[in-house]
Amino acid sequence: MADVALDDRGRLTLPKEVRERYGDRYHVVQLPDGVKLVPVADDPLEALRDEFEDVQTPADELREEARDAALDEAGR
């Protein structure tokens, strides 16, 4: 972990090792106790496809399971 500081224009420079590992684009998430930088993929759709390539369940079935779970949680 490295300490970084904002420059006089409010810019933050991330260490080279961080940029090489996670890329150059980030989403800033505000948390109650600070901020979190979440890397944004160059092609978010392709990143999702890669993340879920091993899922064999059809989308309709996943949607129905999520609906049933939400109804159960709400006290159907």
Which pLDDT band, with edges at 50, 70 and 90, does 31 fall under?
Answer: very high
Looking only at the bridges linking them, the beta strands covering 26-31 and 34-39 are antiparallel
pLDDT of residue 1 exceeding 80: no
Q: Where are the domains of the chain?
A: 1-40, 41-75
pLDDT at 51: 87
Q: What is the pTM (predicted TM-score) of this model?
A: 0.56
User: Beta-carbon neighbour count of residue 14 at 10 Å?
Assistant: 15
Architecture of domain 1-40: Ribbon (2.10)
Instruction: Kindly report the number of other CB atoms within 10 A of residue 22's CB atom.
Output: 15
